[in-house]
Structure 1
Amino acid sequence: MQTNPHVDEIRELNLAYLLLAQRLLGADRAEAMFRLKIDEEMAELLASLDARQLARLANTNQLLCHFGGESVDQLRQVADNPRDQGLGHFHASLLMASRSMLSEGGGHVG
Protein backbone atom coordinates (compact mmCIF):
# COMPACT_ATOMS: atom_id res chain seq x y z
CA MET A 1 0.00 0.00 0.00
CA GLN A 2 1.42 3.35 -1.06
CA THR A 3 1.38 6.21 1.43
CA ASN A 4 0.61 9.81 0.61
CA PRO A 5 3.84 11.87 0.81
CA HIS A 6 1.90 14.76 2.35
CA VAL A 7 0.77 12.56 5.23
CA ASP A 8 4.38 11.50 5.80
CA GLU A 9 5.43 15.17 5.86
CA ILE A 10 2.64 15.99 8.32
CA ARG A 11 3.82 13.20 10.61
CA GLU A 12 7.42 14.45 10.44
CA LEU A 13 6.28 18.00 11.15
CA ASN A 14 4.16 16.80 14.08
CA LEU A 15 7.11 14.99 15.63
CA ALA A 16 9.41 17.99 15.13
CA TYR A 17 6.77 20.26 16.69
CA LEU A 18 6.29 17.99 19.71
CA LEU A 19 10.04 17.68 20.27
CA LEU A 20 10.46 21.45 20.00
CA ALA A 21 7.58 21.98 22.44
CA GLN A 22 9.25 19.67 24.96
CA ARG A 23 12.60 21.47 24.60
CA LEU A 24 10.95 24.88 25.01
CA LEU A 25 9.02 23.69 28.07
CA GLY A 26 12.19 22.30 29.61
CA ALA A 27 14.11 25.53 29.08
CA ASP A 28 11.52 28.09 30.22
CA ARG A 29 8.01 26.86 30.91
CA ALA A 30 6.29 30.26 31.08
CA GLU A 31 7.87 31.49 27.87
CA ALA A 32 7.09 28.19 26.14
CA MET A 33 3.45 28.36 27.18
CA PHE A 34 3.25 31.87 25.79
CA ARG A 35 4.97 30.99 22.50
CA LEU A 36 3.00 27.75 22.01
CA LYS A 37 -0.25 29.36 23.17
CA ILE A 38 -1.00 26.51 25.56
CA ASP A 39 -2.24 26.39 29.14
CA GLU A 40 -0.63 24.79 32.19
CA GLU A 41 -2.51 21.51 31.78
CA MET A 42 -1.35 21.10 28.16
CA ALA A 43 2.20 22.11 29.12
CA GLU A 44 2.25 19.44 31.81
CA LEU A 45 0.99 16.78 29.42
CA LEU A 46 3.43 17.65 26.63
CA ALA A 47 6.38 17.76 29.01
CA SER A 48 5.51 14.35 30.45
CA LEU A 49 5.24 12.40 27.17
CA ASP A 50 7.87 9.72 26.55
CA ALA A 51 9.35 8.86 23.12
CA ARG A 52 6.74 6.17 22.39
CA GLN A 53 3.86 8.49 23.26
CA LEU A 54 5.36 11.31 21.16
CA ALA A 55 5.67 8.99 18.16
CA ARG A 56 2.10 7.76 18.60
CA LEU A 57 0.77 11.29 18.88
CA ALA A 58 2.77 12.49 15.86
CA ASN A 59 1.56 9.55 13.77
CA THR A 60 -1.60 11.19 12.53
CA ASN A 61 -2.71 12.75 9.28
CA GLN A 62 -3.74 16.00 11.02
CA LEU A 63 -1.38 18.85 11.89
CA LEU A 64 -0.93 19.31 15.62
CA CYS A 65 0.40 22.86 15.29
CA HIS A 66 -1.65 25.74 13.95
CA PHE A 67 -1.30 29.35 12.85
CA GLY A 68 -0.99 31.72 15.77
CA GLY A 69 -2.90 34.55 14.14
CA GLU A 70 -6.55 34.98 14.91
CA SER A 71 -7.35 36.45 11.53
CA VAL A 72 -6.08 36.75 8.01
CA ASP A 73 -5.41 40.42 8.69
CA GLN A 74 -3.06 39.58 11.57
CA LEU A 75 -1.12 37.11 9.44
CA ARG A 76 -1.00 39.60 6.57
CA GLN A 77 0.39 42.29 8.92
CA VAL A 78 3.17 39.95 10.01
CA ALA A 79 3.94 38.74 6.48
CA ASP A 80 3.88 42.22 4.94
CA ASN A 81 5.62 43.94 7.85
CA PRO A 82 7.76 46.78 6.41
CA ARG A 83 9.59 47.23 9.75
CA ASP A 84 12.77 45.38 8.97
CA GLN A 85 15.16 47.61 10.90
CA GLY A 86 15.74 45.47 13.97
CA LEU A 87 12.28 45.76 15.49
CA GLY A 88 10.38 43.70 12.92
CA HIS A 89 10.53 40.51 15.00
CA PHE A 90 9.30 42.44 18.04
CA HIS A 91 6.35 43.87 16.10
CA ALA A 92 5.49 40.41 14.74
CA SER A 93 5.59 38.95 18.25
CA LEU A 94 3.22 41.62 19.52
CA LEU A 95 0.78 41.01 16.68
CA MET A 96 0.80 37.25 17.20
CA ALA A 97 0.57 37.58 20.99
CA SER A 98 -2.51 39.77 20.78
CA ARG A 99 -4.58 36.66 19.99
CA SER A 100 -3.74 34.99 23.29
CA MET A 101 -4.30 38.20 25.22
CA LEU A 102 -7.73 38.66 23.68
CA SER A 103 -8.80 35.08 24.27
CA GLU A 104 -7.77 35.32 27.94
CA GLY A 105 -9.65 38.57 28.45
CA GLY A 106 -6.41 40.50 28.87
CA GLY A 107 -7.50 43.50 26.87
CA HIS A 108 -8.56 44.57 23.46
CA VAL A 109 -6.89 45.85 20.36
CA GLY A 110 -8.28 48.90 18.78
Structure 2
Amino acid sequence: MKSNEYLDEIREMNLAYLLLAQRLLNADREEAMFRLKVDDVMADFLASLGAQQLSKLANTNQLLCCLGHAGIEPLRQVVDNPREQGLSHFHSSLLMASRPLSTEEGDSRVE
Protein backbone atom coordinates (compact mmCIF):
# COMPACT_ATOMS: atom_id res chain seq x y z
CA MET A 1 0.00 0.00 0.00
CA LYS A 2 2.90 2.40 0.70
CA SER A 3 4.08 2.10 -2.89
CA ASN A 4 0.78 3.46 -4.20
CA GLU A 5 0.96 6.35 -1.75
CA TYR A 6 4.45 7.22 -2.97
CA LEU A 7 3.31 7.10 -6.59
CA ASP A 8 0.43 9.43 -5.78
CA GLU A 9 2.83 11.83 -4.07
CA ILE A 10 5.22 11.71 -7.04
CA ARG A 11 2.37 12.55 -9.39
CA GLU A 12 1.25 15.44 -7.18
CA MET A 13 4.83 16.73 -7.01
CA ASN A 14 5.18 16.50 -10.78
CA LEU A 15 1.98 18.45 -11.37
CA ALA A 16 2.96 21.10 -8.83
CA TYR A 17 6.40 21.40 -10.43
CA LEU A 18 5.00 21.71 -13.95
CA LEU A 19 2.44 24.31 -12.89
CA LEU A 20 5.11 26.30 -11.08
CA ALA A 21 7.40 26.08 -14.11
CA GLN A 22 4.65 27.45 -16.35
CA ARG A 23 3.86 30.29 -13.93
CA LEU A 24 7.53 31.23 -13.70
CA LEU A 25 7.95 31.12 -17.48
CA ASN A 26 4.87 33.27 -18.02
CA ALA A 27 5.99 35.83 -15.44
CA ASP A 28 9.65 36.22 -16.47
CA ARG A 29 10.99 33.79 -19.05
CA GLU A 30 14.71 34.55 -18.63
CA GLU A 31 14.61 34.35 -14.85
CA ALA A 32 12.55 31.15 -15.02
CA MET A 33 14.99 29.53 -17.42
CA PHE A 34 17.81 30.41 -15.03
CA ARG A 35 15.97 29.10 -11.95
CA LEU A 36 14.67 25.94 -13.65
CA LYS A 37 17.98 25.27 -15.44
CA VAL A 38 16.22 24.76 -18.78
CA ASP A 39 17.12 25.92 -22.27
CA ASP A 40 14.93 27.71 -24.83
CA VAL A 41 13.59 24.48 -26.31
CA MET A 42 12.50 23.11 -22.94
CA ALA A 43 11.08 26.49 -21.90
CA ASP A 44 8.98 26.62 -25.08
CA PHE A 45 7.79 23.07 -24.54
CA LEU A 46 6.79 23.62 -20.91
CA ALA A 47 5.07 26.92 -21.63
CA SER A 48 3.07 25.40 -24.49
CA LEU A 49 1.52 22.52 -22.52
CA GLY A 50 -2.22 22.56 -21.98
CA ALA A 51 -4.00 21.24 -18.90
CA GLN A 52 -4.53 17.76 -20.33
CA GLN A 53 -0.90 17.54 -21.46
CA LEU A 54 0.34 18.70 -18.05
CA SER A 55 -1.78 16.08 -16.35
CA LYS A 56 -0.56 13.37 -18.69
CA LEU A 57 3.07 14.33 -18.20
CA ALA A 58 2.67 14.56 -14.42
CA ASN A 59 1.03 11.15 -14.29
CA THR A 60 4.25 9.16 -14.28
CA ASN A 61 6.06 7.14 -11.64
CA GLN A 62 9.27 9.17 -12.01
CA LEU A 63 9.99 12.60 -10.58
CA LEU A 64 10.29 15.18 -13.34
CA CYS A 65 12.27 17.59 -11.19
CA CYS A 66 15.62 16.66 -9.73
CA LEU A 67 18.37 18.22 -7.70
CA GLY A 68 20.20 20.36 -10.21
CA HIS A 69 23.73 19.54 -9.18
CA ALA A 70 26.23 16.96 -10.36
CA GLY A 71 27.66 16.59 -6.88
CA ILE A 72 26.80 17.22 -3.28
CA GLU A 73 29.40 19.90 -2.61
CA PRO A 74 27.27 22.95 -3.56
CA LEU A 75 24.40 21.56 -1.49
CA ARG A 76 26.71 20.84 1.44
CA GLN A 77 27.99 24.43 1.26
CA VAL A 78 24.44 25.75 1.46
CA VAL A 79 23.62 23.54 4.44
CA ASP A 80 26.88 24.21 6.27
CA ASN A 81 27.01 27.92 5.44
CA PRO A 82 28.59 29.71 8.44
CA ARG A 83 27.73 33.21 7.17
CA GLU A 84 25.44 35.45 9.11
CA GLN A 85 21.76 35.25 8.26
CA GLY A 86 21.74 38.47 6.22
CA LEU A 87 24.18 37.14 3.63
CA SER A 88 23.32 33.45 3.72
CA HIS A 89 20.43 33.79 1.25
CA PHE A 90 22.67 35.59 -1.26
CA HIS A 91 25.47 33.07 -0.80
CA SER A 92 23.07 30.14 -1.20
CA SER A 93 21.69 31.65 -4.40
CA LEU A 94 25.18 31.96 -5.85
CA LEU A 95 26.03 28.38 -4.96
CA MET A 96 22.78 27.00 -6.38
CA ALA A 97 23.16 29.01 -9.60
CA SER A 98 26.66 27.74 -10.24
CA ARG A 99 25.54 24.66 -12.17
CA PRO A 100 25.72 25.38 -15.90
CA LEU A 101 22.69 24.87 -18.12
CA SER A 102 22.96 21.83 -20.38
CA THR A 103 22.13 22.91 -23.92
CA GLU A 104 23.16 19.84 -25.85
CA GLU A 105 20.38 18.62 -28.13
CA GLY A 106 18.79 15.55 -26.67
CA ASP A 107 20.06 16.45 -23.21
CA SER A 108 17.29 18.91 -22.32
CA ARG A 109 15.92 17.89 -18.96
CA VAL A 110 13.21 19.18 -16.71
CA GLU A 111 15.05 20.00 -13.50
Q: Report TM bin, short chain.
A: 0.7 to 0.9
Amino acid at match of 1:76: R
1:34, distance to aligned residue in structure 2 (A)? 0.2
Which deviates more, 30-39 or 80-89? 80-89
Alignment: residue pair count: 103
Write out per-residue CA displacement over residues 60-85 of structure 1, whole angstroms, 9 at most, x where no aligned residue: 01000010222111111111212242
Q: Which residue in 2 is equivalent to 1:50? A: 50
1:56, distance to aligned residue in structure 2 (A)? 0.2
Structure 2, unmatched stretches of 5+, are 104-111
For the structure 1 residues 53 and 80, does the alpha-carbon distance in structure 2 shift closer, same or farther, using more than 3 Å as the test?
A: same
Q: Which residue in 2 is equivalent to 1:75? A: 75
TM-score (structure 1 length as normaliser): 0.85
1:100, distance to aligned residue in structure 2 (A)? 1.4
Instruction: Please give the alpha-carbon distance, in whole angstroms, between the structure 1 residues aligned to 2:91 and 2:57.
Output: 33
Write out per-residue CA displacement over residues 25-60 of structure 1, whole angstroms, 9 at most, x where no aligned residue: 000000000000000000000000000000000000
Which deviates more, 19-28 or 88-97? 88-97
Q: Which residue in 1 is equivalent to 2:14? A: 14
Instruction: Please give the alpha-carbon distance, in whole angstroms, between the structure 2 residues aligned to 1:80 and 1:47.
Output: 36
Structure 1, unmatched stretches of 5+, are 105-110
Amino acid at match of 1:64: L
Amino acid at match of 1:82: P
Instruction: Please give the alpha-carbon distance, in whole angstroms, between the structure 2 residues aligned to 1:50 and 1:93.
Output: 31
1:3, distance to aligned residue in structure 2 (A)? 6.1
Counterparts of 1:58-97 in structure 2, within 5 Å, are 58-97=58-97
For the structure 1 residues 2 and 76, does the alpha-carbon distance in structure 2 shift closer, same or farther, using more than 3 Å as the test?
A: closer
